Structure 1
Amino acid sequence: MDFALPPEIDAIRMRVRDFVDTKLIPLEADRANYDEHENIHPDVLKRMRAEAKAAGLWALQMPKARGGGGLSVVGMAACYEEMNRSIFGPVVFNSAAPDDGNMIVLEKVATEAQKARWLQPIIDGDVQSSFAMTEPDGCGSDPSLTYTRAEKMQGGWRVTGRKHYITGAGESKHFLLIARTSDDDRRGLTCFLFHADQPGWRIIRRIPIMGPEEHGGHCEIEFDGLEIPDENVLMGIGDGLKLTQIRLGTARLTHCMRWLGMGRRALEIAMERIAVRESFGQKLIDRESVQGLVGQAAMELEIGRLLTMKAAWVLDQGGFARKEVSMAKIVVADALHKSVDTALQLLGARGYSKDTPVEWMYRYARQARLVDGASEVHRMVLANFLRREGRDFFAWGAHG
């Protein structure tokens, strides 16, 4: 059992680390580099994306034939962690949600014509994309509670309904939409592709949130007769639930990959400070109580890394990794909050202020236990696996 990264992956990881250290982290200290929603300013993003492309670090999760880096899921885990040591990192490398998850699922299931029309512009960074599933009165963790409906018409479908908390919708041009096409429990949902310029839908509001926002925010949107041609059905009629499961498996894990990098960075900031900060005649790092705090946070991050890498390995072996992804999602969400909360506590007022990005991370981190399935839902998934598998729950092989 070898826990070392393959040399070729580690070399890319180190190039990502150097880019983050030299080009992105220095940007965080200047408020002029932020937009009004506390993300990287669009002008700065454009410049940094050009540099990432020039450095050969662009869309590393996509095939090389499409302009990406061709990384395995294990390679993604190693590199995404390094990217998110900067709060600006993932979007600069075109590896941020929701574009990341949308690219991955389109590459897996779209036709070649659909890939050329809907996927390639996202890979190239020409458009943003959104995944429109969650509803005000319906689905969140449970996609079966989808009430937005697509009704068959000549040559296509007409959509009516409402979605909310749709990440990036304010700026997105390409949308993946989950809508109900029948009342069948398993095959009642279908995924459709549509462009922002099409009539029949509108953004009701950009929903204010607790933390910093992705570009395009989190929007509530309404469909009032959006017409979608048959050629823009993704997979097949009734395959919406299946597609959602395909997308969310890897997408949940990429969240974990990125969160590990953010948690590491928070501890790095704290460690640098407590190594020099003196109180009552002793440096903070020399105090046993402080050592306990940082040691616990570091251990929890490492446990999360091991679970994330196990899930990545299972995916690379062709498994679905549902059990492994759920474990990683629960543990890494908690580890992120633990590390950021620990860092803020040790930094004191400096951490609570905007003099470091730790307060930004703290507000961001609370969503981790909610997005892409609440922790409680993932625990339920694990309990159901345990009930079905018994002692095989702990088997060493890959799981479907």
Structure 2
Amino acid sequence: MDFALSPEIDAIRLRIRAFVADHILPVEADRSAYDEHDNITEEALQALRAKARAAGLWALQMPAERGGMGLPVVGMAACYEEMNRSIFGPVVFNSAAPDDGNMILLNKVGTEAQKDRWLQPIIDGTVRSSFVMTEPAPGSGSDPAGMMATRAEKKGDRWVVHGRKWFITGAGAAEHFILIARTSDDPRKGLTAFLYHRDQPGWRIERRIPIMGPEEHGGHCELVFDGLEIPEENVLVKVGDGLKATQIRLGTARLTHCMRWTGLAKRSLEIAQDYISERRAFGSTLAEHESVQTMMGDAAMQIEIGRLLTMKAAWKLDQGDFARKEVSMAKVVVADALQQAVDTAIQLNGARGYSKDTPLEWIYRYARQARLVDGASEVHKMVLSRALAAEGQDFWSWGA
């Protein structure tokens, strides 16, 4: 692959960089722009979204004919990194989870009617969405095919859903939902993806689960299904293709997390570099101390390793490959790199880093989930181990 960005993509990247610096970072610095869950308030968000639309920087991952920018995955990687220089960046450009992954899935596999009904409002920013898969024990987590307990049974021309889900990101604010439920006991074709609207009866939000870190809009919720009825036309892909839909969504969604996390990791070192360049101790700036240089250099190296893995996976996705190994490697490495970068930045900033005078403590709390969401690091390493056992020396193939 060629690591040089096309002039068109690089121009968009630089426009996003300037927009973040000029419009989003000043809002991030204003504590009144934060809601009770440490996210941007709706008022501040809508004002910034209007500016992003006016600047032609909206829904980078969606086709131009539907109001997006139609970037390839490589272009997304470069631009998502820039937008997450700010903790508020991705949601301003309509490129934040879970809407980001849901839009990509619906655009890939939805019928035209489903795209008009369920996708377009998310692209337009008039509704939010949620992906409903994870369940409390003994239900599905890292093994949905084997452990999914929520069931949808066909009754007449409708599917009736019973079960329980939890840690469903964004559910408290979502109107459009993609639900994964069991429709048979077939080990490969036992799951089906369904679309439903917030206003439909037969389900409820049991609670918004308090978490350690700052929350996405709508939080992380526990849902109960006690007779939700879904018509046949709201089956996504085909009956029995729920696992396929999940894999399609999570492949790119995991990588877009990595794209955004590299931006947060770089921001963490940026804050650290600014501080150590000015702060003096024992007759010199902190930046002149060898121990500090070692910490900064190692964190910067780990970020670059993660960026390269992310870009390789993005390139392979653009070639039509599933890039399963590359996505798993990027997910593990970038999650660790983000944790290391922000921990290093807090350590070097001392009490200032632990305070709310910088966004470092926000990033630190957010970063801890990176090794858990969309597949724990241990699960991805298990996937890599199985690939190594199956492929042998070809695991490291130079081919596309």
In which range does the TM-score fall when normalised by the shorter chain?
over 0.9
2:200 equivalent to 1:198: yes
Gaps of 5+ in 2: none
Query: Which residue, 178, 181, 189 being the options, matches 1:179?
Result: 181
How far apart, in 2, do the equivalents of 1:320 and 1:2 lie?
Answer: 19
Task: Establish whether residue 340 from structure 1 lines up as the match of residue 353 from structure 2.
Answer: no
1:217 CA displacement: 0.3
User: Of 360, 364, 369, which aligns to 1:362?
Assistant: 364
Instruction: Quote the residue 1:80 is aligned against.
Output: 80
Match of 1:212 among 208, 211, 214: 214
Cα deviation, residue 26, structure 1: 1.3
Number of residues of Structure 1 aligned to a counterpart in Structure 2: 398
The residue number in structure 1 matching 2:251 is: 249
Task: Check if 1:69 corresponds to 2:69.
Answer: yes
Q: Secondary structure of 1:198's partner?
A: coil
Give, in angstroms, the shift of residue 16 of structure 1. Answer: 0.3
- Supply the distance in 2 between the matched residues of 1:288 and 1:140 (Cα, whole angstroms): 44
Q: Distance in 2 between matches of 1:203 and 1:28?
A: 30
- Give the unaligned 5+ runs of structure 1: none
**1:134 aligned partner, one-letter code:** T
Q: What SS does the corresponding residue of 1:158 show, helix, strand or coil?
A: strand
- Which residue does the alignment assign to 1:140? 141
What does 1:115-154 align with in structure 2 at a 5 Å threshold? 115-137=115-137, 138-144=139-145, 145-154=147-156
Task: Give the secondary structure class of the aligned counterpart of 1:275.
Answer: helix
Cα distance, 1:298 vs structure 2 = 0.3
Residue 377 of structure 2: aligned partner:
375
Secondary structure of the residue aligned to 2:343 is helix
Matched with 1:227 is 229
Residue 221 of structure 2 aligns to a residue in which SS? strand
Which residue of structure 2 aligns with residue 155 of structure 1?
157
Distance in 1, Cα, partners of 2:59 & 2:144? 28
Q: Alpha-carbon deviation of 1:2?
A: 2.8
| Equivalent residue, structure 1, for 2:302 | 300
Render the CA deviation track for 1:260-306: whole Å, top value 9, x for unaligned.
00000010011001000001111000000000000000000000000
Quote the offset at 1:7 in angstroms. Answer: 1.0
Distance 1:323 1:143 in 2: 19
Amino acid at match of 2:302: E
State the match for 2:26 in structure 1. 26
Measure, in 1, the Cα distance between the counterparts of 2:25 and 2:296: 22
For 1:296, give the aligned amino acid: D
Aligned counterparts of 2:170 and 2:13: Cα–Cα separation in 1: 27
CA distance in 2, matches of 1:6, 1:142: 39
2:62 is aligned with 1:46:
no
Deviations along 1:155-193, whole A, 9 cap, x unmatched? Answer: 110000000000000010000000000011000000000
From 316, 321, 325, the counterpart of 2:327: 325
Q: Counterpart of 2:391? A: 389
Task: Give the aligned residue type for 2:206.
Answer: I
Runs of 4+ in 1 over 3 A off after TM superposition: none
Q: After TM superposition, give the deviation of residue 98 of structure 1 in Å.
A: 0.4
Normalising by structure 1, we get a TM-score of 0.99
Q: What secondary structure does 1:58 align onto?
A: coil
Give the alignment's Cα RMSD to 1 decimal. Answer: 0.6
Amino acid at match of 2:110: A
| SS in structure 2 of the partner of residue 161 of structure 1 | strand
Equivalent residue letter for 1:140: G
Cα drift, residue 139 of structure 1: 1.1
Taking the aligned partners of 2:279 and 2:68, their CA distance within structure 1 comes to 44
